[in-house]
Amino acid sequence: MPVPDDQKSLRHTPLHALHVSLGGKMVPFAGYDMPVQYPAGVLKEHLHTRAAAGLFDVSHMGQIALRPKSGKVEDAARALERLVPQDIVAIAPNRQRYAQFTNADGGILDDLMVANFGDHLFLVVNAACKDADEAHLRANLSGDCVIDPLADRALIALQGPKAETVLATLCAAAPSMKFMDAGPHEVAGIKCFVSRSGYTGEDGFEISAPASDVERLAKMLLDNPDVLPIGLGARDSLRLEAGLCLYGHDIDTATTPVEAALEWSVQKSRRSGGARAGGFPGAEKILAHFDNGASRRRVGLRAEGRAPVREGAPLFADADAGEPIGQVTSGGFGPSLNAPVAMGYVPTDLSALGTKLFAEVRGQRLPLAVAAMPFVKNTYKR
Amino acid sequence: MTTTLYTSDHEWLAIDGDVATVGITDYAQQQLGDVVFVELPKIGRALKKAEAAAVVESVKAASDVYAPVTGEVLETNAELASEPALVNSDAQGKAWFFKIRIADKSELGGLMDEAAYTAHTA
């Protein structure tokens, strides 16, 4: 979705005034006026999140309740399985799972989180895709479900090794939650949905709160000396080091989940021979990629030098070979590694760990090697 | 006796005879944020005024540094390769980028003095 040029047309999250008061440098992102960084700067914000705790405003993302007309959550789960290659029926109450909406060509329309809240499903989708996702759900699932966009809710993320102790002061249930647990909990007396998940590779929580209460909640969290506000700049460098895909960059309508190295997110029950194999858009192509392999693959890339290799840089097999063999889809400087990191698509026969490649940056071929992701070990509490 | 002049693209030049030492301004480093990589021109390279001469990269993005005048690169600051953060801590001192032999001093006429540059960034 194009970002409007006109600043006046940008939408505000319920925390906009707080961002401005904290000195946030505001930029247009997915139609919203969002903080790219605060006075501490991207580098310090990134390192602080890995060392203590960072608070992110992700209220621009879409939150959608999928309510089964039958009253049985399993019916909503079965309906949603028509749109995603994941096993939704198997998500236990108060658990969540990573998923993708696929299209008829096997490409990815959006990636999302799906939680089972007992009597309905709770979805979190990307800001830039949320209107299209809502329309997609209405067009396909209205017979079985009420599609209920939760426009009056904000979403914040508290990430980092101190996230648990910080949140425990306001939410007694927080320490007992495990990675990908998700459910309704009171935080400082406010009725929230809390999940133990995030987009940084760190342990942490995402908290959906009523828009009217979120500023009060954010201020209480920021009162803790371990917590700094973190902008979109560090959110991007943190997720890149964690090897996590950014929709519209590392995955899009032209990449299948197999090409994107997201096989782990497609459960056996939906693959060939599984109990509910196929039955999602693009199943023929995606299952063929599972069965026969795909010709290209998303890989991690580490540079030998210190020059960041950024999105769009063409990749080559040799220092002087003519035709590019692939392209960088995300890249930059990893503050925790103190080195450049990137990811991109390469032919599968050049995707083995350690394969030497070259990226062209300002007319020079810089040596890279295919590297394991995550680049920084994740610290999820399993 | 050196004179310091400024470009509208936020480079500074300390001029000593026909040699200019070039860097980016303190205002520019504040706008860029934490600098993580600097690419410098090769010594001996003939630069044309306004040509991309160096690159400075923050975590977020890469930005070009332009040659403020036409001339030959005489020397580059090797310290920036190992310690790019110098650009943030001492942009208009230790973090100079390169020295250039000014080919045509009349090009200096289009540059700003400190008062004009301060007004430009206000």
pLDDT tens string B60-93? 899 999 999 999 999 999 999 999 999 999 999 9
Whichever domain contains A369, its CATH number is 2.40.30.110
Whichever domain contains A40, its CATH number is 3.30.1360.120
In A, minimum Cα distance to B53 occurs at A362
In this structure, the answer to whether residues A161 and A234 fall within a common structural domain is yes
Q: Can you give the pTM of this predicted structure? A: 0.95
- CB-facing half-sphere around the CA of A124: CA atoms within 13 A: 26
The DSSP annotation for A111-170 comes to EEEEEE-SSSEEEEE-GGGHHHHHHHHHHHHTTTEEEEE-TTEEEEEEESTTHHHHHHTT
Chain B nearest CA to A36, separation (Å): 10
Q: How far apart are CA A271 and CA B77, in angstroms?
A: 57
B contacts of A46 (beta carbons < 8 Å): 59
Residue A47 counted as domain residue:
yes
Nearest Cβ partner of A308 from B33, B34, B37? B37
Closest by CA to B52, choosing from B108, B116, B4, B97, is B97
In this structure, the answer to whether residues A219 and A354 fall within a common structural domain is no
Closest by CA to A298, choosing from A260, A265, A251, is A260
Helix (H/G/I), strand (E/B), else coil: B76: strand
> What is the extent of the structural domain holding A332?
295-382
What ipTM is given for this predicted complex?
A: 0.88
Total domain count, chain A? 2
For A51, A56, A206, A379, the CA distances from A179, given in Å and listed in that order, are: 19, 18, 11, 10
Residues 6+ apart with CB under 8 A from A349: none
Pairing status of strand B71-76 against strand B98-102: antiparallel
Q: Between chains, do A43 and B34 touch, taking CB under 8 Å as contact? A: yes
In the chain, the amino acid numbered A38 is Y
Chain A nearest CA to B6, separation (Å): 26
Q: How far apart are CA A55 and CA A252, in angstroms?
A: 28
Q: How far apart are CA A59 and CA A280, in angstroms?
A: 29
Contact between A195 and A98 (Cβ < 8 Å): no
In B, minimum Cα distance to A43 occurs at B34
Query: Domain locations in chain B?
Result: 3-104
In this structure, the answer to whether residues A55 and A164 fall within a common structural domain is yes
φ, ψ of residue A282 to 5 degrees: the values are 75, 15
pLDDT tens string A321-345? 789 999 999 999 999 999 999 999 9
Q: How far apart are CA A143 and CA A128, in angstroms?
A: 26
Residue A354 counted as domain residue:
yes
In the chain, the amino acid numbered B58 is S
The DSSP annotation for A247-309 comes to BTTTB-TT--TTTTT-GGGS-GGGSTTSTT---STTHHHHHHHHHH--SEEEEEEEESSSS--
> Of the residues A240, A268, A285, which one is the last residue of a structural domain?
A240
Nearest Cβ partner of B33 from A37, A307, A308? A37
Q: How far apart are CA A286 and CA A50, in angstroms?
A: 36
> Of the residues A211, A240, A269, which one is the last residue of a structural domain?
A240
Q: Between chains, do B36 and A308 touch, taking CB under 8 Å as contact? A: yes
B contacts of A310 (beta carbons < 8 Å): 62
CATH number of B3-104: 2.40.50.100
Residue A190 counted as domain residue:
yes
pLDDT tens string A181-233? 999 999 999 999 999 999 999 999 999 999 999 999 999 999 999 999 999 99
How far is the first Cα of chain A from the last one, in angstroms, to the nearest whole number? 35
In B, minimum Cα distance to A330 occurs at B60
B contacts of A312 (beta carbons < 8 Å): none
A contacts of B60 (beta carbons < 8 Å): 36, 42, 233, 236, 332
In this structure, the answer to whether residues A332 and A193 fall within a common structural domain is no
Residue A104 counted as domain residue:
no
Would you give the DSSP letter of residue A230? -
Q: How far apart are CA B4 and CA B22, in angstroms?
A: 10
Chain A nearest CA to B57, separation (Å): 8
Residue A301 counted as domain residue:
yes
Q: Which of B31, B34, B55 to mutate to test the interface with A (most CBs of A within 10 A)?
A: B34
Nearest Cβ partner of A42 from B34, B39, B81? B34
Q: What is the mean pLDDT of residues A16-29?
A: 97
In this structure, the answer to whether residues A307 and A234 fall within a common structural domain is no
B contacts of A362 (beta carbons < 8 Å): 39, 55
Chain A nearest CA to B17, separation (Å): 33
In percent, the amount of chain B with pLDDT more than 90 equals 95
Q: Between chains, do B59 and A362 touch, taking CB under 8 Å as contact? A: no
Would you give the DSSP letter of residue A349? G
Residues 6+ apart with CB under 8 A from B109: none
pLDDT, residue B72, reads 98
Q: How confident is the model at residue A6 (pLDDT cuts 50, 70, 90)?
A: low
In this structure, the answer to whether residues A39 and A167 fall within a common structural domain is yes
Nearest Cβ partner of B39 from A43, A237, A307? A307
Residues 6+ apart with CB under 8 A from A160: A48, A49, A50, A51, A52, A53, A54, A200, A202, A203, A204
pLDDT, residue A214, reads 98
Q: What is the mean pLDDT of residues A234-251?
A: 98
pLDDT tens string A145-164? 999 999 999 999 999 999 99
Starting at the edge strand that comes first in sequence, how are the strands of the sheet with B98-102 ordered? B3-6, B11-16, B19-24, B98-102, B71-76, B46-47
